[in-house]
Structure 1
Amino acid sequence: MAESYQEGSGAGGDFDLSQFYQIFFEEAGENLDLMEQMLLELDLSQANDEELNGIFRCAHSIKGGAATFGFSDVAELTHQMESLLDRLRRHELQPIPAMVDVLLESADASRSLLARHQAGGQGEAVSTASLVKRISELAAGVVPADSPAPAPAPVAAPEPAPAAPASAPSGGSAGVARRLEIRIGPLDKPELAEPIKDLFRDIAGLGTIQDLPSTAPGVRVFSVETASTEEDLLDLFAFHVAKEQVVFQEVGANSSSADASEAAYGFFSDAPGAPGSSTSPAPVAASAAASKSGAAVKASTSESKAAAQSQMESTTIRVAVNKVDQLINLVGELVITQAMLAQNSRGLDAGAYQQLLAGLADLDRNTRDLQESVMSIRMIPMSIVFSRFPRMLRDLANKLGKKVELVTLGEATELDKGLVEKITDPLTHLVRNSCDHGIELPAERLAKGKPEHGTITLSASHQGGSIVIEVRDDGRGLSREKILRKAQERGLEVSEQMSDADVWQLIFAPGFSTADEVTDVSGRGVGMDVVKRNIAALNGTVEIDSAEGYGMKVSVRLPLTLAIMDGMSVGVGDEVYILPLSSVVESFQVNPNDVSTVAQGSQLVKVRDEYMPVIALEKIFQVPRFDLNKSSNIMVVVEAEGSRVALLVDELLGQHQVVVKNLETNYRKVPNVSGATILGDGTVALILDIGGLVRRARH
């Protein structure tokens, strides 16, 4: 397919279109995502025009861009999709599930083809012949054998068009015949060949076309009678104008002598009458007075739409992710520098250095505001993650013969982009697990007195300095007996006295599976251990709650961002360690008599009738003690993975924001440490991995 790239880059003579490839690929991806979402939400029993027109516009946009850049395989497939969607939106066909299926599969194929073009044509192209054949058959009204026959589309009785007064605005209403004059040109420009071909095809679908004589060379003028609304026409013409190879020019208005309203739309590029040209096209309406009146109404409509479009486009800007990452790193360095200045200025005389200290206070405030603003750039809503699951769940439920509804809550909750990319795969596995293991077959659910449709709920919410994502289902839940039996078969150390929470944690063991048979969906015992490991790598935790026969809930807790966090600094000897503030429960001064030593030298402390393990950071990190008479007597209770431990430290130094530096990138993985930061005095402090310390205490 290398020819298509050459063809695309040379479509406009010596004008290189390759510079716009990336924008096209991004916009095409967004259109495919939007199309998929609208297809999944489409109510086949009463699909409205707005929904069908929206899906049609997505396919149309992709087709136009693909044709412009010379990606003929994508253009051909989306053209076929567009043909089927066009018949649907004109109510010539009744939508059926088979149409949604083939359109979704075609969207997937378009993604693959676009990905191949984006990679420079590497790899084998996806075959679309069978998809094109299925689409053509459905567009021709052929219903697959396994699909229910569609109900005939209701045909509304035609209503007579009322006579329009001379002062009526040019916008018509649906079902009212309207006569338009359209000019397109010049036709001899190579870069306009594809857009004009697309435009002719679209105009041909509006109604009956009649050629009119043209006085300008290379310009085609014709009239068309159509029942399309003003909104539909503006959408259609705006699409072609948006390509910027053609220019939209208002040249006409209502006719006072005709029952149907008349207007003219011109498409010119460096042609007489185009914006910036010294001449204007001749008026086409019969009455000059009516022309001026109608043109004023029409112009105001066009100007308001153009202003709205301009305003909408100016509110967003595409920026490469690496630029945002670089900006965040620089702000992080600024936070460190500001902390150094603040620490070094503490001993200054407030009277003598009043102006300097006031400036440093302003720097502190502005640095924090700047840091929060920059961090918000990387924060994206969870709806980006959740939008991937309706399609996947639909396909999986159909494959398993189950009926499943997906409910999403808290889509507006924001999470760091780096975390979003890393959390998608674990969440995908949890959703698949709920559908496969949790939700029962319809007959089984009815026998249990449950509704036929199972429900999987995805929710996201902020809790303190963390985000909690939950995957819940109302299926069969976990079986305690089955898990214990499987664990014993695999040689794991278990007992009947284990708490439910400990039993549920067994499913995270490598190779553990409760499936009775291996399928292409699950049963190989690969997944839940990877889920937990991936989430732990993000300094997150996973908790399970289940009731047999009623369902299961998996809660994933993550820090809001991986770049900057709130931390508590503690001192042990001459060392400083940072504890993530979201994991800290409380701190207190301990009496040595309250600490009990149990088997193998492990220590426990009793805190309000609850015994918890004691971890002495001095021993864990082998901190040298120069003052032999001093001993740690402060405990900080931290929580992770549903368990609490007490950390033994010398002193609490304070709470502040820290810039997280990745140790693995700069050094290597260190046990019980999740990262490092630079303090105000320039020294490096380790950020502790609370999850790792809790797991260590368990063992």
Structure 2
Amino acid sequence: MDIADFFDTFFEEAEELLSDMEQHLLELDVDDPDSEQLNAIFRAAHSIKGGAGTFGFTVLQKTTHILENLLDYARKGELTLRADLVDTFLEAKDIMHEQLDAYRSEEEPNQEAFERICQTLQQIALDEIGQQLDGPATPAAEPKASPAPSENGAEAKSSQEKVANSHLLVALLNVEDKDRILLVEELEQLGEVQSQSGDAKRYEVILKSSDSADDIEAVMCFIIEPDQIEITTVEGVAEEPAPAAPEPVASAPAAPMPQAPAESTAAKANPAKAAAKEKPKKAAAESSSIRVSVDKVDQIINLVGELIITQSMLDQTVSDLEDQSVGNASLQNGMSLLQRNARDLQEAVMSIRMIPMEFVFSRFPRVVRDTAGKLGKEIELITEGKSTELDKSLVERITDPLTHLVRNSLDHGVEMPDVREAIGKPRIGKLTLSARHQGGNILIEVRDDGAGMDRDRLLAKARENGLNVSDTMSDEEVFQLIFAPGFSTAKEVTDVSGRGVGMDVVKRNIQSMGGRVEIQSKLGEGTNTRIVLPLTLAILDGMSIKVGGETFILPLSTVLESLQPAKDDMYAMAGDDVVIKVRDEYLPVIAIHEVLNVENAITDPTKSIAVIVQGEGRRYAMLVDELIGQQQVVVKNLEDNYRKVPGISAATILGDGSVALILDITGLHRLSRYKKEAGKKVVNNQNLSSFKEAEPS
């Protein structure tokens, strides 16, 4: 067996253990630490140390070993916790994460960081406990062995000999034969197999090893599930292995120990392990999941998308049949059943990629703690809707924009504690992260109870930066100014913010995911930044529209309403600009047939249909010939299959096999402005290249 086959499993599970460790450290009350949390932090470090030693990741193993020893003193109450000690533990966790990433990339970890954190942890032990920690041990060493002689030297020596000669009964539960052979080979790397027997339901191995039962279990759990292994200490087994017959386990007097007393002994020796075994339901739930490559899931989703397209084509073909004979009626019934099953299959497959927002929110307690510490502020973080699900690809891409918004709220939004107290607010500011479903979208909010935004100050700063603004702008438009490149109201540059970079990137990233960002704020009360995203980028709820002989798709999330324009509501502005009045609001008009050069389209606006859409916080009126209807479409990336086209975000295949382009609202508006400024009605390929270069980055 090549142990490298389990590297990926170790990396993934170690990543989860480090995340759990950080969460528990952040939640830890240093004045009254919870013993369960301390035990959980210790177990996470212990499991990582065991796995790292087995897989040969020496630097990670040594770092974790020293941290584990220090955590052991903390959970026993011999080390009094303080906030600065927790900060050091978090720093050690960060370095362990960097070491894990280095091993994942087949590189050597940073030696300087390794030596620095080990020295820091050793110094804590000297200052707080008055003794040096045990040095980093080899994988086979026992961390509890004391190198210094004592009054009970003989007793310690006897104990060490006992550890060196300990025999363990390792029971493999519900493991297939082919996997069992590999597991036994792995056990041979951890000690000397004395005997083995049993069946697939329960296979018992007597192992002579200097490793502790916990260390062996930690290693094996990187290969099989925790509920598939039981390890108990066996007394009275002869030092030499029995003859190579498969029956010694059954015939040896000490091997077939009653299971209940063995469990009781294990519970006394290791209460944490016994507590874990008292939760068989949880273990069973964990074993019911499997790890699958995201590429495989994406391939299935793509194939299901193709199936949906094929089903739509067949459905349209059947609906076009004029002969409604019995045979065709049966065919239509079959098609209806196929359509229903295909839709259920699509929803089931899409749900595989959906993961809860907790994966995103779990990163922010650390971000808030570190940022608030740098700023000297006191912040309480509240999370809501952690179970709300979002597509995995969007979860990965929303983390950075959210991080910047959170840091921005902490720096610019929430006031200093003394200032808050002076104006009658609690010293501790509140920052809320929430997520919830809204129609076919997900709404993510970053709310603070800080100073809010000063409209006059934003306008003054915008004029100073040379932006075209006016006092008649709505609050929503004024607040959107913070997303302009280079815009910042910070009085001085800090390591948190103030350079005028970031917010424009946040907006672009959110728009690239098919979403939009909105800001609501009240001076003196706080700010609420709202991000609206589609649940997934693979499937889109769209409105089919007709312009000339072409069919286009408008994302349904951008559509507000549709109406028939009246001549009295249309106004010509300077140049070729046209606006339409909708309930006392003047909206720019975008004629799709002009922007995209579509022939045989309706050119009279009063005979067209105006679809009111929203993009980048602004509303537009798009002139179309006809509204076909609402439908779900499978999104096909245009850049992967062709190239980037201004005004178009993606494409899809309709039921008749034709390709329909999915419109990009803000891109169409920029393209329309460019064409009018250039004074051209037709844009050739050279012009499109120029537009692409001129388009704001």
Distance 1:196 1:453 in 2: 55
Query: Which stretch of structure 1 is more off in the superposition, 297-306 or 490-499?
Result: 297-306
What corresponds to 1:330 in structure 2? 303
Q: Is the 8 Å Cα contact of residues 13 and 222 (structure 2) preserved in structure 1? A: no
What corresponds to 1:634 in structure 2? 609
Per-residue deviation, 1:423: 1.2
What corresponds to 2:290 in structure 1? 317
Distance 2:249 2:187 in 1: 22
Q: Is the 8 Å Cα contact of residues 184 and 267 (structure 1) preserved in structure 2? A: no
- The amino acid across from 2:324 in the alignment is A
Distance 1:138 1:273 in 2: 51
Q: Is the 8 Å Cα contact of residues 381 and 414 (structure 1) preserved in structure 2? A: yes
Residue in structure 2 matching 1:114, options 89, 92, 100: 100
- The amino acid across from 2:100 in the alignment is L
- The amino acid across from 2:250 in the alignment is T
Structure 2 spans left out of the alignment, 5+ residues = 131-162, 171-183, 193-204, 268-273, 675-697
Residue in structure 2 matching 1:101, options 87, 99, 104: 87
What corresponds to 1:184 in structure 2? 167
What corresponds to 1:131 in structure 2? 117
Query: Which stretch of structure 1 is more off in the superposition, 514-523 or 524-533?
Result: 514-523
Distance 1:490 1:271 in 2: 86
User: CA 1:274/1:96 → structure 2, altered by over 3 Å: closer, same or farther?
Assistant: farther
- The amino acid across from 1:534 in the alignment is N
Q: Name the SS of the counterpart of 2:409 in structure 1.
A: helix
What corresponds to 1:411 in structure 2? 386
User: CA 1:556/1:698 → structure 2, altered by over 3 Å: closer, same or farther?
Assistant: farther
Per-residue deviation, 1:488: 1.9
Distance 2:217 2:236 in 1: 11
Residue in structure 2 matching 1:513, options 479, 485, 488: 488
Distance 1:381 1:143 in 2: 42
Say whether residues 1:579 and 2:579 are aligned partners: no
Residue in structure 1 matching 2:543, options 568, 573, 582: 568
Say whether residues 1:60 and 2:42 are aligned partners: no
Per-residue deviation, 1:124: 4.6
User: CA 1:496/1:378 → structure 2, altered by over 3 Å: closer, same or farther?
Assistant: same
What corresponds to 2:683 in structure 1? none
Residue in structure 1 matching 2:431, options 456, 468, 480: 456
Per-residue deviation, 1:295: 6.5
User: CA 1:302/1:673 → structure 2, altered by over 3 Å: closer, same or farther?
Assistant: closer
Distance 1:266 1:478 in 2: 75
Q: Is the 8 Å Cα contact of residues 614 and 620 (structure 2) preserved in structure 1? A: yes
Say whether residues 1:601 and 2:576 are aligned partners: yes
User: CA 1:533/1:143 → structure 2, altered by over 3 Å: closer, same or farther?
Assistant: farther
Per-residue deviation, 1:365: 0.7
Q: Name the SS of the counterpart of 1:450 in structure 2.
A: coil
Deviations 1:61-93 (A, max 9, x none): 100000001111101111111111111111222
User: CA 1:111/1:293 → structure 2, altered by over 3 Å: closer, same or farther?
Assistant: closer
- The amino acid across from 2:319 in the alignment is R
Query: Equivalences for 1:42-57 in 2 at 5 Å?
Result: 42-57=28-43
Distance 1:453 1:657 in 2: 46
Per-residue deviation, 1:302: 11
Q: Name the SS of the counterpart of 2:501 in structure 1.
A: coil
Residue in structure 2 matching 1:618, options 584, 589, 593: 593
Residue in structure 2 matching 1:279, options 236, 240, 250: 250
User: CA 1:624/1:91 → structure 2, altered by over 3 Å: closer, same or farther?
Assistant: same
User: CA 1:489/1:326 → structure 2, altered by over 3 Å: closer, same or farther?
Assistant: same
What corresponds to 2:686 in structure 1? none
What corresponds to 1:23 in structure 2? 9
Q: Name the SS of the counterpart of 2:575 in structure 1.
A: helix
Per-residue deviation, 1:605: 2.9
- The amino acid across from 1:350 in the alignment is Q
Distance 1:585 1:458 in 2: 27
Q: Is the 8 Å Cα contact of residues 272 and 278 (structure 1) preserved in structure 2? A: no
Deviations 1:114-155 (A, max 9, x none): 1111111167545222221222233345289xxxxxxxxxxx
User: CA 1:280/1:221 → structure 2, altered by over 3 Å: closer, same or farther?
Assistant: farther
Distance 1:302 1:186 in 2: 20
Per-residue deviation, 1:614: 2.5
Q: Name the SS of the counterpart of 2:250 in structure 1.
A: coil
Deviations 1:232-266 (A, max 9, x none): x99788546646799746688xxxxxxxxxxx699
Per-residue deviation, 1:304: 7.7
Query: Equivalences for 1:299-314 in 2 at 5 Å?
Result: 308=281, 311-314=284-287
Per-residue deviation, 1:588: 2.9
Distance 2:402 2:471 in 1: 31
Residue in structure 2 matching 1:350, options 324, 327, 337: 324
What corresponds to 1:667 in structure 2? 642
Residue in structure 1 matching 2:71, options 85, 99, 108: 85
If the length of structure 2 is used for normalisation, what is the TM-score? 0.78
Q: Is the 8 Å Cα contact of residues 547 and 601 (structure 2) preserved in structure 1? A: no
- The amino acid across from 1:637 in the alignment is I
Distance 1:643 1:618 in 2: 21
User: CA 1:77/1:513 → structure 2, altered by over 3 Å: closer, same or farther?
Assistant: same
Say whether residues 1:142 and 2:128 are aligned partners: yes
Per-residue deviation, 1:274: 12
Query: Equivalences for 1:380-391 in 2 at 5 Å?
Result: 380-391=355-366
Distance 2:82 2:554 in 1: 57
Q: Is the 8 Å Cα contact of residues 590 and 669 (structure 2) preserved in structure 1? A: no
Per-residue deviation, 1:381: 0.9
Alignment length (residue pairs): 607
User: CA 1:379/1:345 → structure 2, altered by over 3 Å: closer, same or farther?
Assistant: same
Q: Name the SS of the counterpart of 1:495 in structure 2.
A: coil
Distance 1:221 1:124 in 2: 31
Q: Is the 8 Å Cα contact of residues 67 and 194 (structure 1) preserved in structure 2? A: no
Q: Is the 8 Å Cα contact of residues 73 and 79 (structure 2) preserved in structure 1? A: yes
- The amino acid across from 2:298 in the alignment is D
Structure holding more helix per residue? 2
User: CA 1:68/1:647 → structure 2, altered by over 3 Å: closer, same or farther?
Assistant: same
Q: Name the SS of the counterpart of 1:680 in structure 2.
A: coil
Structure 1 spans left out of the alignment, 5+ residues = 1-14, 145-179, 198-215, 223-232, 253-263
Per-residue deviation, 1:411: 0.9
Distance 2:275 2:360 in 1: 37
What corresponds to 1:39 in structure 2? 25
Residue in structure 2 matching 1:488, options 454, 460, 463: 463
Q: Is the 8 Å Cα contact of residues 647 and 664 (structure 2) preserved in structure 1? A: yes
- The amino acid across from 2:396 in the alignment is E
Distance 2:637 2:529 in 1: 28
User: CA 1:267/1:18 → structure 2, altered by over 3 Å: closer, same or farther?
Assistant: farther
Per-residue deviation, 1:482: 2.3
Q: Is the 8 Å Cα contact of residues 467 and 557 (structure 1) preserved in structure 2? A: yes
User: CA 1:191/1:339 → structure 2, altered by over 3 Å: closer, same or farther?
Assistant: closer
Query: Which stretch of structure 1 is more off in the superposition, 552-561 or 342-351?
Result: 342-351
What corresponds to 1:225 in structure 2? none
Distance 2:659 2:498 in 1: 46
Per-residue deviation, 1:364: 0.6
User: CA 1:43/1:593 → structure 2, altered by over 3 Å: closer, same or farther?
Assistant: same
User: CA 1:49/1:438 → structure 2, altered by over 3 Å: closer, same or farther?
Assistant: same
- The amino acid across from 1:411 in the alignment is K
Q: Is the 8 Å Cα contact of residues 570 and 651 (structure 1) preserved in structure 2? A: yes
If the length of structure 1 is used for normalisation, what is the TM-score? 0.78
Q: Is the 8 Å Cα contact of residues 553 and 661 (structure 2) preserved in structure 1? A: yes
What corresponds to 1:73 in structure 2? 59
User: CA 1:304/1:65 → structure 2, altered by over 3 Å: closer, same or farther?
Assistant: closer
What corresponds to 1:209 in structure 2? none
Percent pairwise identity = 50
Residue in structure 2 matching 1:475, options 447, 450, 453: 450
Say whether residues 1:365 and 2:348 are aligned partners: no
Query: Equivalences for 1:545-560 in 2 at 5 Å?
Result: 545-560=520-535
Q: Is the 8 Å Cα contact of residues 99 and 109 (structure 2) preserved in structure 1? A: no
- The amino acid across from 1:184 in the alignment is H
Deviations 1:278-313 (A, max 9, x none): 53442499xx9xx69857989999998696476234
User: CA 1:616/1:47 → structure 2, altered by over 3 Å: closer, same or farther?
Assistant: same
Q: Is the 8 Å Cα contact of residues 60 and 82 (structure 1) preserved in structure 2? A: yes
Q: Is the 8 Å Cα contact of residues 357 and 385 (structure 2) preserved in structure 1? A: yes
